[in-house]
Structure 1
Amino acid sequence: VQRGDNLVLLVFERAKTGDIIQGLPRIEELLEARKPKEACVLAARPGTAQVVYDDDDDSVEIKVVESDGVMTEYPLGPGQNVIVADGQSVLAAEPLTDGPANPHEILENYFKFLRETQGVYDAALEALQKVQTFLVNEVQSVYQSQGIDISDKHIEVVVRQMTSKARVDDGGDTTMLPGELVELYQVQQVNQAMSITGGAPAEYTPVLLGITKASLNTDSFISAASFQETTRVLTEAAIEGKSDWLRGLKENVIIGRLIPAGTGFNAYEEVGSPDVDLSYEGVSVFDDETDLTDVVLDDRTARSYGLEPFDDRSRLGFGMTEVSEPFSPLLDDDELISDDMDDEEDGEDDE
């Protein structure tokens, strides 16, 4: 054996983060949409993979030859292992190395690829559907590894809220500002209005929000204030002069109204026509009979207008009758004292 000869080759392989993080930490990482520390490399566009090994420093490089002949190189970091074979066909946002996938990168790669052949709204919608499927499958795999069976619908409700927003890149002729987070359907409706008026539409990019950030970016400032950072949310709402249209469940519960479900929906209407005098002491309670379908008239509101509360046969104003006097929940001190004295006199008479 000569000096400097190699006696043995030691191979060190680090444990991957995806193998260690399981259970609730993995669920939290997915639902908070955090970027993994050692994320895998994803293909930007579909094509054929070529794995190139460098004999000098034993490094590996992946090249993807796309259908139009463009070659994209993906350098690998230390400790990353290739999971695709040479000559294998890969799809957009498909993992090329091992490790957990970054959901933000999945959404970005899909959107950029689909944007080449589709409109911005269709591309955003399909890209969000791809990342929705990824999140549901990842959460289900964690629960199923622990022997827990959960229906997809419970996870889909949460994931839908995480993937409902878009970030405005260019407001165009609309009133939206760059960097503003807007509901995807809302910005699409604004762009449709711009196409009719001939204005420049807004350019936007779909975004993935964690459940904490999604709750704070809701349209209702009452709902956001009841969750976290109450002082900041209420201060910003006061500065901006926001209006809460009470379309969600939480904000209606907070102020004591019917929740928007079932007969509590603003658009709920029973079959038939209301035949009732809608005036109270010469002042109309409602401007028009059709306003009955626009107001959630619960028991508290009915009493404040001097109307009898509802029963099962009269909802949203149908069959309401006026009472002789407006409902007064509080009595004067003199009335309370006189009632007590009457009760005492009745008791003495009974004796």
Structure 2
Amino acid sequence: SLLDELIVHSGIDNTPFVLDKIKEFGFKYSTVSGTTWGLDNISLSPEKPRIIAEGKKLEEQIISQWSEGLLSEEEKYQKIIEIWTHTKKNLEKVLPATLDKNGSAYDLFTSKARGNMGSLTQLVGMIGLIQNNQGKILEYPIIPCYFEGLSPIEYFTITHGARKGASDTALNTAKAGYLTRRLVDVAQDVVVTEEDCGTKEGIVVTKENISGIEIPLSKNIRGRVLAGDLKDKNGKILYHKGFLITKEEAYNIEGAGFTEVFVRSPLTCKTVHGLCVQCYGLDLGRNRLVEQGEAVGIIAAQAIGEPGTQLTLRTFHAGGVAGTDITTGLPRVEEIFERRIPRNPAVVSETDGEVIEIKAKDGKEKVIKVLSDSKADGKSNEMEYNVTFHRTPIVKAGDKVKKGQLLTDGSADIAEMFRLAGKEVVEKYIISEINKVYELQSASISRKHTEIIIRQMFSRRKIKDAGETNFSVGDIVENTAFIEENQRVVEINGKESKAETVVLGITEVSLRTKSWLSAASFQNTNRVLIENAIKGGVDNLRGLKENVIIGRLIPAGTGFKNSFVPEKEE
């Protein structure tokens, strides 16, 4: 935010000098301050024995309940972990008081220069619960802190977690790198190719609440172009259609009490090859309207893939509930973009209607009954949904539900949701799910990037009726190929083909591209080359990869120059 203000105030050319001055100022005074610290700067809290004793007492109660058969093994495990997590939190609260307000340790922690509450807790509080190398939390906490010293067995136990952390990081980097490669491959041919596609469509952007994290409206609309006039309560036009919302205007719109704004989006762009300037909006790197020839697809792929290394790899157990495995972090991002079916998917409503009742069935299963709004043969429809014991209903009797709405916790099967509720609902769901993963790891990315990848996931159609085109029924073809082939047939008064939009995972989309050079250099090389040799595939060299492969200038940046306009043959 300081950088933002500096660039606005001093311009992009002068900012580096200001930053250098800040750096020199910081180095000079941290050198002359001579800040040092040792063991005598920190001390143990006199409250620790009392807090630990309370924790042990609660733990003993749980163990006696378990030995009497009142608790299961799983419940005992969960409760003991809750007790020690809570105990460590209580200890954390009393630790800041142990620091001398004039001491250097206090300065280091409070100025955020080095260390945080977590490191202070391990130094003078307790080390607490640790994981074994399978990622399972052990129910025996390590009560001493580093200041008091550990016994050999305690020290040995900690080394497991430390080693796992180091090896996880290495694995994580490779996985994130592979995800980035697939994202780049699916979006590499998305280049800004025209000024305005002339669409009247757009998306409605609102403020979001993701697992308790508030994402303001201003953040979501900044850098977007309005798809319609923005009017106040009295009908007075504040901003006209086509207005680019800057950072200041975004705050003004939010301050004026607007809760939703209708903006242009890559999801609704009608440009046949690539995107148009108006649907993309602001170039986030340069803070001005995006230029034609900008390779926004690759930027989107890198923006999503780069924080991937920070995302966690583990599937963790939600506290207190046995058996709910929630996939988070990198595997969740991959699951969504590859359109995989989640284990124990959430139950999705097939109609608009009202929940009548939720009743328990034999065992742990439940049944949700929904009264549908659409009537068939004069009778009202009652739909029953079986909920497996892995899932918990998130609706209650009397709630109104919409087609495609989740009735239980868990992750939805995207293909199923698309079949029931259509494209818009799925687009919203994917954006919010991807946002959730990144926001929870405090690595936020612009929605625009996610939208470009989603646009690619919906960029294929399945042929229902081939008409007089070169397609066969059941072929999955690119939207661009479908539009061009139909135009060709119409010009010779032939019958057009008919197709339906399908949603595919990113690897599948990459392999079903019209460019066989791009597909063959990605995966399944033999299959792609053999198929294209049989049918005489033609590569028009529209994307970036194909041109790199044969050594031509890529059709982006300075090599763009309307390379999408076919050259007239002499």
TM-score, structure 1 normalization: 0.62
2:371 to 48, 65, 84: 65
Matches of 1:294 and 1:103, distance apart in 2 = 38
Matched, 1:135 2:430: yes
Matches of 1:172 and 1:164, distance apart in 2 = 21
Matches of 1:89 and 1:154, distance apart in 2 = 33
1:1-351 equivalence runs, <5 A: 14-18=322-326, 21-53=327-359, 60-68=366-374, 69-111=380-422, 127=423, 129-184=424-479, 186-187=481-482, 202-262=497-557, 264-265=559-560, 267=562, 294-295=566-567
Q: For 1:67, what is the secondary structure of its paired residue? A: strand
Q: Which amino acid aligns with 2:507?
A: T
Q: For 1:260, what is the secondary structure of its paired residue? A: coil
Tell me the CA shift for residue 80 of structure 1: 2.6
Deviations 1:211-246 (A, max 9, x none): 211111111000111111212211211111111011
Q: Which amino acid aligns with 1:14?
A: A
Tell me the CA shift for residue 180 of structure 1: 0.8
Deviations 1:164-189 (A, max 9, x none): 11222343454322221122354356
Matches of 1:131 and 1:9, distance apart in 2 = 42
Q: For 2:333, what is the secondary structure of its paired residue? A: helix
Matches of 1:235 and 1:61, distance apart in 2 = 50
Residue 41 of structure 2 is matched in structure 1 by none
Q: Which is greater in Rg?
A: 1
Matches of 1:56 and 1:255, distance apart in 2 = 64
Give the conservation status (yes or no) of the 8 Å contact 2:555–2:563.
no
Q: For 2:355, what is the secondary structure of its paired residue? A: strand
Matches of 1:242 and 1:9, distance apart in 2 = 66
Deviations 1:187-222 (A, max 9, x none): 356667878988765443322222211111111000
TM-score, structure 2 normalization: 0.39
Number of aligned pairs?
249
* Alpha carbons of structure 1 residues 23 and 88: separation in structure 2 relative to 1, 3 Å: same
Deviations 1:235-274 (A, max 9, x none): 21111111101111110111111211255346469xxxxx
Matches of 2:490 and 2:334, distance apart in 1 = 41
* Alpha carbons of structure 1 residues 169 and 17: separation in structure 2 relative to 1, 3 Å: farther
Matches of 2:372 and 2:420, distance apart in 1 = 14
Q: For 2:548, what is the secondary structure of its paired residue? A: helix
Q: For 1:24, what is the secondary structure of its paired residue? A: helix
Give the conservation status (yes or no) of the 8 Å contact 2:468–2:494.
yes
Q: For 2:545, what is the secondary structure of its paired residue? A: helix
Matches of 1:52 and 1:294, distance apart in 2 = 61
* Alpha carbons of structure 1 residues 84 and 195: separation in structure 2 relative to 1, 3 Å: farther
Tell me the CA shift for residue 136 of structure 1: 2.1
* Alpha carbons of structure 1 residues 57 and 150: separation in structure 2 relative to 1, 3 Å: closer
Matches of 2:329 and 2:468, distance apart in 1 = 47
Q: For 2:404, what is the secondary structure of its paired residue? A: coil
Tell me the CA shift for residue 151 of structure 1: 1.6
Deviations 1:43-81 (A, max 9, x none): 112111112425876753222222233222212223332
Q: For 1:168, what is the secondary structure of its paired residue? A: strand
Structure 1, unmatched stretches of 5+, are 1-6, 112-126, 270-292, 297-351
Give the conservation status (yes or no) of the 8 Å contact 2:354–2:398.
yes
* Alpha carbons of structure 1 residues 295 and 202: separation in structure 2 relative to 1, 3 Å: closer
Matches of 2:484 and 2:414, distance apart in 1 = 27
Q: Which structure carries more helix by proportion?
A: 2
* Alpha carbons of structure 1 residues 59 and 103: separation in structure 2 relative to 1, 3 Å: closer
Give the conservation status (yes or no) of the 8 Å contact 2:478–2:513.
no
Residue 16 of structure 2 is matched in structure 1 by none
Give the conservation status (yes or no) of the 8 Å contact 2:353–2:401.
yes
Residue 344 of structure 1 is matched in structure 2 by none
Q: For 1:108, what is the secondary structure of its paired residue? A: helix
Matches of 2:503 and 2:435, distance apart in 1 = 19
**Further displaced range: 59-68 or 234-243:** 59-68
Give the conservation status (yes or no) of the 8 Å contact 1:267–1:294.
no
Q: For 1:70, what is the secondary structure of its paired residue? A: strand
Matches of 1:201 and 1:184, distance apart in 2 = 14
Matches of 2:484 and 2:381, distance apart in 1 = 37
Q: For 2:343, what is the secondary structure of its paired residue? A: coil
Q: Which amino acid aligns with 1:50?
A: I
Q: Which amino acid aligns with 1:16?
A: T
Identity among equivalent positions (%) equals 38
Matches of 2:361 and 2:522, distance apart in 1 = 56
Note the aligned Cα RMSD (angstroms).
3.2
Q: Which amino acid aligns with 2:394?
A: I
Matches of 1:262 and 1:177, distance apart in 2 = 37
Q: For 2:371, what is the secondary structure of its paired residue? A: strand
* Alpha carbons of structure 1 residues 186 and 179: separation in structure 2 relative to 1, 3 Å: same
Q: For 2:390, what is the secondary structure of its paired residue? A: coil
Give the conservation status (yes or no) of the 8 Å contact 2:361–2:367.
no
Q: For 1:34, what is the secondary structure of its paired residue? A: coil
Residue 305 of structure 2 is matched in structure 1 by none
* Alpha carbons of structure 1 residues 227 and 190: separation in structure 2 relative to 1, 3 Å: closer
Residue 26 of structure 2 is matched in structure 1 by none
